[in-house]
Amino acid sequence: MAFQKHCPGCFHDKGGVAVCPVCGYDESLPRPPLFLPHGIIIGGQYRVGRVLGQPGGFGITYLGWDIHLQQRVAIKEFLPRDIATRHPGQLDVVTQTDETRSNFEFGKEQFLREARIVARLDHPNVVRVRAFFNANGTAYLVMDYYEGLSLGEYLSRVRKIIEPALAVPLIRPVLEALQFVHEHGVVHRDLKPHNIYLATVGKPIVLDFGAARQAAGERQHSMSVVLTDGYAPLEQYQRRSAQGPWTDVYGAAATLYRMLTGAAPPTALDRLSDDPLEREGWVGIPESLRPAMRRALALTPEARFQTAADFIAALDEYRPLLAPPATGEGAVSVPPPAAATPPPVPVPDPSPAPIPSRAPPPITLPRQEPPVPAASAPVIAVAVTAPSPPPPAAVEASAAASRHHAQIEAVMQAEELPDAEEPPPPPRRDYPLRPPSAPEAQASTRVPARPAQRAAPEPPLRDPAAETRPASWTVLAMPLALIAGLVLLVGGLVYRIVNGPERSLPTMAATDTASVPLVAARAAVAPVAAVNTLAPPPQLPQMLQLPAASARIGDDRGDTAERPAHAVGLAAFAISADEISVEQFGQFVSQARYDNPQWARYACESAGARKPSWSEPGFAQSGSRPVVCVSAPDARAYAQWLSRASGLHFRLPTEAEWEYAARGGSSSRFWWGDAYQPAQASCAGCPQARTGPLPAGSWPRNAYGLADTAGNVREWTCSAYAPYGGGDEAQCASEYERLLSVRGGSWIENADALRSARRTAMDADHRNVWTGFRIAQDLVVPR
C-alpha cells in the first residue's frame, strides 16, 4: 500500500512511510468512506489531511495544506449527516432521498452566505475565513488553522475545573468577539466549550458559526434543533422563537459555568419548574459573581443581558477575593514568577521531534494583559476594571492566586510560541458600531499617514542678528526657485519621453481600438494640495480601450467556482496593457509618502525570502518588473493617487472586465487555445518555470494587446469573491469587503491557474510575492 509522502496529520515530509515520525499519525488506519480520502486536492489549491472534528453533525473539518501558500489550513465541509452522505469510492455528496435535496441545497446556500459574512469579520478572537467554494456536490470553507485544542477537550482531558481567577479572564475576550460579530449582524447560536479553541499563540478563538444551519432548520425539522443541551437557552428549543445576541450571552454564561463547576448547567427545559440551579446549582460560583451569572442564565430572553457588552460590564464588577486552593488536581510545586520578568522563550531543538505520547497536548490559558506588580507579591493578571484599590486582604488573596496561576502555567506550558519579532496584534477593545461615513472612508483610503519613527526635532535656536538682516536676498531667491522648478518640470518631461514605451501596442482587429487618449475622460476630482506640482509627472500606464460588449464570463468545464458560464453586459472602459511596475508604484510611494500601517500586521508571504516587501521581494528585481507584495488597499491608493495627479479616473478592474480583457476575444480555456503552450507563459512545473516574474511584456500579448494575463503574477480585481449569479463579478465591492477575487495565474502556480476563467479568493489586506495588479479607466466618469 502506497502512503503519502507528506503526513496527512501534520504535512511534514515523512518519506512515504505509514507512521509519521514527527506527529505519530498512522495513515494505515482505516478511514471511514464518509471522509474525503487522504491527499486529494479540492478547490484546485487545498490538499486534504486528517479529520479535525465533526461539529454538530452538520459538517466535517479537515486539516488541509494550501499548495500555493505552503501552509496549513482548516477545511470545513458542509455535510448534514441526517439528510446527506458520501458513498464508498465516491467524492460527491448525495442526499438520502429526493425530498431532502431542496433542503440540502438551501442549507448549502446559507452555509456559503454565512461564510461571506464571517469572512468580513476581522477580530483577533474570531476564526478567519480565507476562502469558500463549491466542489463534490457540496460547499467548503477554508479557515486559519491554529495549534492547540478546544476548551471542551481541555476540560475533559486536562483539568475539569478552572478557578475564577483564570476562567473570567478567559471568557472575557470571547464575549468581546461576540459583541463584535453581533454589531456586524451575525449571531453564533451554538457557543459551547468545544467551539472555543485555545490556540497556543495565547488567545481563545471562537469557531463554528452556526447561523446558516439554523436558517436551514426552518425548512427541515431534523435540521431545526441546532443546539447543545445545557448551553442552549429556552428560545432555541422553539422553532419560531426570536434569537439574537441574548442567545449567545446564555451560551457564554453556560460555558463559564462549566469552567467554574465542572459540569454544564441543567437543560433549559428542565429549569422550567423547580429550577435545579436555585436549589444547589450555584455551589462553586463565588458569591460576588452569582448576580451576573443569574442574569446571564435567565430563562426568558427579556430577563437576560441583551448584549455581550452588558455581560462584560457585569463581570468587570467581580473581583477574585478568595484565593484558590494551593493543592489539588494539576497543582505542582514551583516558585512564583517575578512580576516584571516575562517567562523565557524556549529555544527550538534542531534535532528531529520525537513521536508524541498519548498524553493530551499542553496548552497555555490565554492572558490578555500582563501581570501587575504588587508591593509584596505578584498579583494575578485579571482583565477587569478596578474602580478602587483592593483592601490588604484582597492583595494577599490575589498573591496566593498568582502563585497558583504559576503552577497552572507550568503544567500547561505551550509547545509553540509566536515569533518574538512579530508579536500578534493586541485584542481590540473598542469596535465601531457603524462603518465610517463617506467622508471618513474617503479620507482613510487616500494616503495613510506614515507612523512616527522618532521624536520630532527641536526647533532651531533663534538668531536675533539674523532677524535684523536686510531681506534683499529674497529678491534673488524667488527667481532661482522658479528656474529650479522649470528645470525639474522639463527634466520630468524629457525622462518620460526617453523612458516611455519602446513600441506601439497592437490594436484589436475586430474593433480597431487604440491606446486611450488620456484626456478622454476627465474625472471630477478637485485639485489636491498634497500633489507636488514640481515633481516629475506620474508615469501613466499605457491604456487600451475596450468597447461596450456582452462579455462571456466563467467556464462550465472548469472548477465549480467558475460556473455557470454566463454573459455580462459591460460599458466601454480602458485597461492597462501591462501590470503596474515597480517603478510606477515606487513613484507613487515616494511622492505620496505612502506607508500602509496594515503592512506591519499582514506580512507579505514569500517564496523563501525572509520578510519580503514590494521593493525587495526576495528575487531579482528591476523597475520594469510587476510590483508584488501589495494589498488591495495599496492598489486602490495607487489608483486614487494617479487619478488626483492626472485628473483622470482610475480604479481596479471588476472581475468581469478583467476576464473580458484577458480572453482577448477568445472562448477557449487559455487566450491562445485549449492546451497549455510553454511559449505563452510560465508556471510552476512547466518547461519554462521561473523563480520570479519577468519584466512586463516578456511574454506574447493577446489579441487585445494585453500582456501577462496568464502567468507572471496574479492580479487584484475590485469585485467581491462570491458564487456566480448575484452580479458581484460586474461591480466593485465596498472598501469594507474582506474577500476579493484575484485573477490570472502566476509563476508559482500550476498551468491550470493560467486559464482565463480561473478565480481565486483572497483577503483584501493579504500580500504575497506572486500577486500584483493592473488598473482600469472609466471612459464615462461615474457620478
DSSP state string for 645-680: HHSB-EEPPPHHHHHHHHHTT--SSBTTBSS--TTT
d(CA 265, CA 274): 14
CB 706 within 8 A of CB 664: yes
Spatial distance between the Cα atoms of 210 and 480, rounded to a whole number of angstroms: 70
| Distance from the Cα of residue 547 to its chain's centroid | 36
Choose between 696 and 333: higher pLDDT: 696
pLDDT of residue 22: 80
The predicted structure's pLDDT at residue 609 = 58
- Residue 193 scores a pLDDT above 80: yes
What's 751-775 look like in SS3?
A: HHHHCCCCEEEEECCCCECCEECCC
Least confident of 368-382, 407-421, 521-535, 651-665: 368-382
- 3 state DSSP class of 118: helix
How is residue 49 annotated by DSSP? E
Mean pLDDT calculated for residue range 497-516: 33
> Cβ distance 758 to 559 under 8 Å?
yes
pLDDT at 423 over 50: no
* Residue 84, SS3 per DSSP: strand
Q: How far apart are CA 73 and CA 128, in angstroms?
A: 10
C-alpha to C-alpha distance for 87 and 78, rounded to whole angstroms: 16
* Whole-number pLDDT of residue 320: 55
Q: Residue 426: pLDDT above 60?
A: no
Q: Are 626 and 582 in contact (CB under 8 A)?
A: yes
Cβ-contact 378, 337 below 8 angstroms: yes
Q: With 80 as the cut, is the pLDDT of residue 448 above it?
A: no
Q: What's the CA dihedral at 100, 106, 110, 111 to 10 degrees? A: 40
The DSSP-derived string for 580-643 is PBHHHHHHHHHHHT---GGGGTSPPB-SS-SS--SS--SS---TTSBP-S--HHHHHHHHHHHH
Q: Could you tell me which residue, 470 or 154, shows the higher pLDDT?
A: 154
Lowest mean pLDDT among 110-124, 264-278, 551-565, 643-657: 110-124
306 vs 250: CA distance, rounded Å: 10
Peptide bond into 389 cis (omega under 30): no
d(CA 13, CA 48): 15
Buried b (16+ CB within 10 A) or exposed e, 116-137: bbbbbbbbbbbbbbbbbbbbbb
Q: In the chain, what's the furthest Cα-to-Cα distance?
A: 97
Question: Between these two residues, 424 and 227, which has the higher pLDDT value?
Answer: 227
Q: How sure is the predictor about 89, in pLDDT bands with cuts at 50, 70 and 90?
A: confident
Distance CA 214, CA 223 (A): 7
Q: What is the mean pLDDT of the chain?
A: 74
- Give 197-261 as a 3 state SS string: EEECCCEEEECCCCHHHHHHHCCCHHHCCCCCCCCCCHHHHCCCCCCCHHHHHHHHHHHHHHHHH
3-class secondary structure per residue, 538-585: CCCCCEEEECCEEEEECCCCCCHHHCCCEEEEECCEEEECCCCEHHHH
Please give the average per-residue pLDDT across 48-73, as a whole number.
85
pLDDT of residue 55: 56
What is the structure's pLDDT at 362? 38
Higher pLDDT: 499 or 664? It is 664
Convert the pLDDT of each residue in 69-88 to its tens digit.
888 999 999 998 888 999 98
Starting from the edge strand earliest in sequence, which strands make up the sheet with 59-66, in order? 41-42, 46-53, 59-66, 71-78, 138-144, 129-135
Indicate the pLDDT class of residue 119, thresholds 50, 70 and 90: confident
What's residue 391's pLDDT?
42
pLDDT in tens, 223-250: 344 678 999 999 988 877 788 999 999 9
Element (H, E) at 294: helix 290-296
**What pLDDT shows up at residue 210?**
57
In this predicted structure, what is the pLDDT of residue 8? Answer: 93
- Quick one: pLDDT at residue 536? 76
Q: What is the pLDDT of residue 595?
A: 93
761 versus 453: the higher-pLDDT residue is 761
Work out the pLDDT band at 116, boundaries 50, 70, 90: confident
pLDDT tens digit sequence for 713-739: 999 999 999 999 889 999 999 888 889
Q: What is the pLDDT of residues 309-366, one digit of tens each?
A: 999 999 988 865 433 333 333 332 223 333 333 333 333 333 333 323 333 333 344 4
Confidence check: pLDDT of 40 > 50: yes
**DSSP three-state, residue 269:** helix
pLDDT at 616 over 60: yes
